[in-house]
Amino acid sequence: MALKRFTTSLGLAAFLILPIAGCTNSPVGKSFQGAFEADPQLKDNGSAIGATQTPQPSPVAQTDQAQLPANFPAEIPIYPNRSLLEVDANQPNQGVLTRWSSQDKSDQIVAFYLQELQKNGWTLDGQPIDKTQGTFEANRDGLQAIVTVQSNSQPGTSAGFSIQASRTQPTQSASPSASVPQPGSPEFIGPMPQVAAPTSNSSPVASEPQTFTDLDKAPKELSQYAKDLTQLGVLSLSSNNKSGTSKTLFEPNKTITRREYARWLVAANNRIYTSRPARQIRLGVETSQPAFQDVSRTDPDFPAIQGLAEAGLISSSLSGDSTTVLFRPNAPLSREDLILWKLPIDTRQTLPSATIDAVKQTWGFQDAARIDSKALRAVLADFQNGDQANIRRAFGYTTLFQPKRTVTRAEAAAVLWYFGFQGDGLSATEALKGGARSNP
């Protein structure tokens, strides 16, 4: 009996549904359909299942391959659609360096940081001129963020960017003003105080050998290079050699800034080739039109930086690169710039053309595609220098160049220990002995 009543009810339900379904345009049909349609408010609600939400910056992405340190400053904005590739916390006095990738276009990342770093109390001390790549330098309440975006103009490639986060560490001193980073310190960020303009005979080369008490803290493969250059008096830690102060700590594993490397590069070349004036780099003079907007004539490192630009050894408007108007003197030096600035001085000729495949076949670098196109030529030319190649001397055998990685002071010293190409050159050791010609 119960089965009969159930069958009768089922048939009645089917009888009611079929006419309505067949008349979907009727008011009753539309009302019936509306009862089973999704609530349109739920479609517009970002919390609905399957809805696409606008990504928001957050300190950690759940899909990151690496682990972001817990002490990474939450104030620094992180691009939403990204993956964390690598964390380098071994940055003495330089905080932490993180490397990221994104499937979005690099110009979207540049636009994001241009917007985010111009609000919430950040002060932009430098920003890219190119909308697809470049470096931001921003400061906020003693926190420094250096964001470098790499272009992914080639189809199918990912955009990469890095974030260097560090906090200003006050220097311990009895003097109340010593807690503020002073000009010449790697932690100092302008503006520079108004001082007398350097004269044409000013030199970044120290006149006497230096004394450092911590050179033994450098990797043993690099310590001798730093010791030789110290004896030559070229590894000055202050831009002002007349300050009357002396530093006994070299901090060989500390990240070197772009201004320090420019100063040492000119000093090392000119001191090693002290008896060969034709190979020396002429310093910029106070009457020169500054090649960079952020390195004025009053900057203590203006002679060296301006001299490199006027010699065409670093890219600037003087060499025809109208987009390079900032030098970013206090930013960390990258490996690719380490080699790019040095090789033209080694070869004394135009760098050869280069391709990613050529670098892969010679050096065997797995990350050759990440090297900037300009630096690619220098990297290939460096391979042709055999055992005196700068890369071999500074980094040993490696299949990863890591072009955006920062450089330590000891690594920079290893590169600057020798100048020359394919047998025609001099080392710091030979310069100390009187400048005998080297035969690598």
How many CA atoms lie within 13 Å of 306's alpha carbon, on the beta-carbon side?
26
Q: What is the pLDDT, as a whole number, of residue 141? A: 80
Cα–Cα dist 392/440, whole Å: 14
Q: How many CB atoms lie within 10 A of CB 124?
A: 13
pLDDT bucket at 238, cuts 50 / 70 / 90: confident
In this model, does residue 75 exceed pLDDT 60?
Answer: yes
Per-residue pLDDT tens over the stretch 388-402: 999 999 999 999 999
Q: What is the pLDDT, as a whole number, of residue 6? A: 42
Q: What is the pLDDT, as a whole number, of residue 56? A: 44
pLDDT bucket at 324, cuts 50 / 70 / 90: confident
In this model, does residue 28 exceed pLDDT 80?
Answer: no
Per-residue pLDDT tens over the stretch 111-139: 898 888 877 778 877 777 678 888 888 88
Q: How many CB atoms lie within 10 A of CB 250?
A: 23
Q: Which residue would you say has higher pLDDT here, 197 or 120?
A: 120
Average pLDDT rounded to a whole number, residues 24-30: 45
Q: What is the pLDDT, as a whole number, of residue 177? A: 37
pLDDT bucket at 183, cuts 50 / 70 / 90: very low
Q: What is the pLDDT, as a whole number, of residue 151? A: 79
In this model, does residue 72 exceed pLDDT 90?
Answer: no
In this model, does residue 406 exceed pLDDT 70?
Answer: yes
Name, of 48-62, 202-216, 260-274, 426-440, the range with top average pLDDT. 260-274
* Percent of all residues in the chain with a pLDDT value above 70, rounded to a whole number: 70
Q: What is the pLDDT, as a whole number, of residue 94? A: 57
- For residues 339 and 384, the answer to whether their CB atoms sit within 8 Å is no
Q: What is the pLDDT, as a whole number, of residue 208? A: 66
In this model, does residue 93 exceed pLDDT 80?
Answer: no
Task: Delimit the domains of the chain by residue range.
Answer: 83-167, 191-333+406-432
This prediction has a pTM of 0.56
Q: What is the pLDDT, as a whole number, of residue 239? A: 60
* Percent of all residues in the chain with a pLDDT value above 90, rounded to a whole number: 42
Q: What is the pLDDT, as a whole number, of residue 180? A: 42
Instruction: Calculate the alpha carbon distances from 148 to 29, 82, 165, 404 in Å.
Output: 60, 14, 12, 9
Chain-centroid distance of CA 153 in Å reads 19
Average pLDDT rounded to a whole number, residues 193-216: 57
Q: Tell me the torsion sign for CA atoms 232, 237, 239, 243.
A: negative
Cα–Cα dist 141/173, whole Å: 21
Instruction: Calculate the alpha carbon distances from 292 to 100, 126, 128, 196, 265 in Å.
Output: 29, 12, 13, 19, 18
Name, of 18-32, 62-76, 140-154, 413-427, the range with top average pLDDT. 413-427
Cα–Cα dist 383/339, whole Å: 11
Mean pLDDT of the chain: 77
Instruction: Calculate the alpha carbon distances from 250 to 212, 216, 295, 331, 430 in Å.
Output: 6, 10, 25, 19, 23
**CA nearest neighbour of 410 among 333, 345, 352, 347:** 333
pLDDT bucket at 283, cuts 50 / 70 / 90: very high
Q: What is the pLDDT, as a whole number, of residue 153? A: 64
Per-residue pLDDT tens over the stretch 362-378: 999 999 999 999 999 99
